[in-house]
A and B are shown apart, each in its own frame.
Chain A
Amino acid sequence: MGVISEFRKMGKNGSYHQTLIKDLKRINEKLQFLGALNESLTEGIPFTVKDNICVKGFEARAGSKILGGYVPPFNATAVERMLAKGFGFLGKTQMDEFGFGSFGINTQVQARNPFNPDKVAGGSSSGAAVATAVMKYHVAIAESTGGSISNPAAFCGVLGFTPTYGTVSRYGLIDYANSLDKIGIMGRSGDDIREVFDIIKGADRYDSTCVDTKVKGEGKKKLVVINQLMKGIDEEILSSFDSLLSQLGEMGYKVEHVSIDSITKAIPAYYIISMAEASTNLAKYTGYKYGLQRESFTEKYNAFFTGARAAFGTEAKRRIVLGTFVRSESVKDKYYTKALQFRTAITNKLGQILKDAFIISPTMPITAPDFEQAAKLTPLQTYAMDSLTIPPNLSGLPHISFPCDYKRRMPVGAQLITGHFNDYALLDFVSEWEKRFEYRFKYSLGAI
């Protein structure tokens, strides 16, 4: 049974929530994973919301200085649907600026890993993963563009579910790359994620790309490992993964190794498309309608805009410059158009495999690194960290990261991918996995 049903049975309110908030604040001093907090919450199953998803009346910075002070006048559709079902909005969770990062360090407030505060929580949904790892009765609404749910879920030892692109409305999501952004869920059990998914999914008149296609749960007994993706992975992660595969073998799954050469094109294709779209999405931050306000309005507009846009962090600036470059007329066909073609080709290839199999891999090539290590990586090394999470994200395929081992007291996650709109199969799978493997949590605030 999931924590949601358990909590419903207990029917807690009032002092329970106030105590939880007090405890949260204390632990937040150490782990720094929270944004705006709903201090007056007194009822409902607590849920947190990644800071790039709008909650009416609460500041939404999306991890950026440039949005400081932006209080959305509306709820994201996913949030609206949670509130309508009696869930209680607890607060916003930290993230890399606009989702640009793999370690939660590309922002002013850097969330820390609950298993070891010297280590990163992952990214970009860093705060959502930490919140899920420290609270017992709670679910997190997070978001993934290229792996921002799987990655921190693996580093923090929780479940991170990214649904099929288009099943959950993006209305109210502060855009990174619209054709890749997906609102998803973090939790502690497959049952909880299923319940929340059923609430937030479904067509929305405010998001043209959101559809009502029926979600299935066709289980597969074949697990495909893509050889090209298994390069550059730490030895200890590989040993955890081998042990996972043998356990799954005992559970009746058959493992098959396949080669897909084109899969290595996924990273460049992803970064080109996401940066091109991001550079257009970030154009709107010009310092006069919302967010960071400039004091003087006497400059010429170009100078004014330039002044406002100085507030972007380094990674955001890098993506604006590269994104603007790859869609510029003279090189567009060479980069942007070609990347779109690769995306289609890779999606078709993965689709063929997924007809009768799941694709499985470790989620991350390493366990959560120290802050120091993470900061030393070059942008390219950091982008390579996403090699396992990018393929399903690029293709809009549903995937889930689940804890499968612990190495040197840090969690190891594995990622399961299935075909479009077969999302329930992933949740069925983890429910089965949970019967045999017990997740460990260092904190369980609010546990009774």
Chain B
Amino acid sequence: MKIGLEVHVALPTKSKLFCSCSSISDEPNSAICPICMGFPGSKPMLNGAALSQAINVANALNCKISESTSFVRKVYFYPDLPKSYQITQTQGAIGGNGSVELESKRIGIRRIQLEEDPAKIVREENYTLIDFNRSGVPLVEIVTEPDISSEEELREFVFALKSILYYLGIDIEKELKVDLNISVAKERVEIKNVTGLRNLIDAARYEIKRQQELVAKKQKVESETRSYNEKAMRTESSREKESDEEYGFIYDPDLTSYSTKSASVQKPVYAGKIAREYGKKYGGAAKTILELIQFDKRSLELIDYAKAKWPMQNIINVVEVLKKYGHMDIPDEKFTRLIEIAKSGTPVNEQVLKQVIKGAAVETSNVGSTDIDKEIKAMIKANQKLLKEYDKNPKVFNFIIGEVAKKLKANPKDVSARLSSILEKI
């Protein structure tokens, strides 16, 4: 099976790709001007920030970046396209020939290009409205090679891509449009304009199954363009042949060619690779580390700060608690204190967290939970008879807790927690 994607993601620039209108706005048709409305006489001016962000995307996806980049006009008629041509890229694209590393595979990136978003079509029952606020918002299009070979891989790829973009400050969920190419057999089916991550996975799952069933029945898969019906959760034939598309590309003579040299390039972050590395080097499950850092820069910062000094499992536990209770902004010294508490064997819970944040003292045992466990088990062995009376006399518990705590100078609460967990297993 071969799956390839054309992913369109909005770039988070302050202004649009070719004019100074804000790229974020609520009131329909409020962020518009003669340029993004394609008024006769207006001309595009390239937004350097968009170019620089697109270069960073290309760089993070290991692409070869063109020394200079240029634009073309893609002509087609649709009400959402004010000039009836979209300014996009072909040969002069930002970059190409890149890849995304998955755990056990590499997905090729064919091309990265920068283009303008069309306006938004709002369909009402008896009429259609057009919101030009979106017209001219910068999009980066990421075209993959057809290297994805299962739904699981598709999922892994999409999350890896989402993570890489997240670390560049780009939120893939803000606006995501995907053209999905799937061929289970030889014939290629393109599902156009799938919006959002969930729909992307759902559409792929449906289409894979549909094609597999046709193949199993020895029926021919039609090479065609389909669309995804979100409500019915199925792909449907669009009744158009891809070969019918004729855009008549010419280079856009209102724009020149732009050097890619001056863009400041950020070092990309590959969360999957980091998680695997840290797991191997410092302990802890790579999967757990990945879950923490994939879409959370702060988690990665905290882990990086602590990783060489304390056991990874303690760090993970503390970060999980911080995340759960919304204290990721914790200062270093308090973070350190929490890890020390965890390391001492005292579980870091909401109460401990509150105490540490407040700066109050937390009573900790200097003994680890293994010592407590050992002592409890010894007590149980020595007091089998007493324990049989447990039902009649619950104070037996307190006796054991008291004895162990006294002997080990441990926190009775910790002992109590260990005791219940041990008894459960028995």
A residues whose Cβ falls under 8 Å from a Cβ of B: 53-54, 60, 62, 67, 70, 72-74, 76, 170-175, 177-179, 205-209, 276-277, 279-280, 283-284, 286, 288-291, 297, 301-302, 305, 324, 327-329, 332, 336
Contact = CB atoms under 8 A, between A and B. Distances in A.
Given A70-B40, A284-B84, 17 more contacts: A62-B40, A72-B34, A74-B34, A172-B42, A173-B41, A178-B253, A178-B254, A207-B45, A208-B46, A208-B254, A209-B256, A276-B250, A280-B75, A283-B77, A301-B77, A324-B248, A332-B248
Contacts of B413: none
Nearest to B247: A329
Interface in B47-85: 73, 75, 77-79, 82-85
B45 A305 contact: no
Interface in B11-52: 34, 37-46
Contacts of B38: 284, 289
A171 B77 contact: no
B249 interface: yes
B77 A205 contact: no
Contacts of A206: 43, 45
Contacts of B333: none
B253 A179 contact: yes
7 contacts: A70-B40, A171-B43, A172-B42, A208-B254, A283-B83, A284-B40, A297-B127
Dominant secondary structure at the A interface: loop
B84 A209 contact: no
Given A209-B254, A301-B79, A280 B40 contact: no
Interface string B242-285: 00001011101111100000000000000000000000000000
B41 A72 contact: yes
Given A73-B34, A76-B41, A289 B82 contact: yes
Contact of A174 (B37, B41, B253): B41
Interface of B: 34, 37-46, 73, 75, 77-79, 82-85, 127, 246, 248-250, 252-256
A297 B246 CA distance: 27
Highest count of chain A CB atoms <10 Å: which of B44, B77, B127: B77
Given A62-B40, A284-B40, A208 B45 contact: yes
A318 B253 CA distance: 21
B84 A283 contact: yes
Contacts of A171: 41-43
Contacts of A170: 43
A273 to B, nearest CB: 9
Nearest to B248: A327
Nearest to A325: B248
Given A209-B254, A280-B250, A54 B45 contact: no
Contacts of A70: 40
A287 to B, nearest CB: 11
A208 B252 CA distance: 11
A115 B38 CA distance: 40
Contacts of A328: 246, 248
B255 A305 contact: no
A60 B41 CA distance: 10
B250 to A, nearest CB: 5
B182 to A, nearest CB: 25
B40 A174 contact: yes
A299 B155 CA distance: 42
Contacts of B84: 283-284, 286
B369 to A, nearest CB: 67
Contacts of B78: 301
A336 B248 CA distance: 10
A280 B38 CA distance: 12
A67 to B, nearest CB: 7
B40 A60 contact: yes
Contacts of B39: 72-73, 289-290
Given A72-B34, A283-B85, A329-B248, A177 B253 contact: yes
A291 B37 CA distance: 13
A329 B43 contact: no
Nearest to A66: B40
A289 B37 contact: yes
Contacts of A72: 34, 39-41
A171 B254 CA distance: 10
Contacts of A327: 248-250
A62 B40 CA distance: 10
Contact of B255 (A73, A208, A329): A208
B75 A205 contact: no
Nearest to A283: B84
B43 A290 contact: no
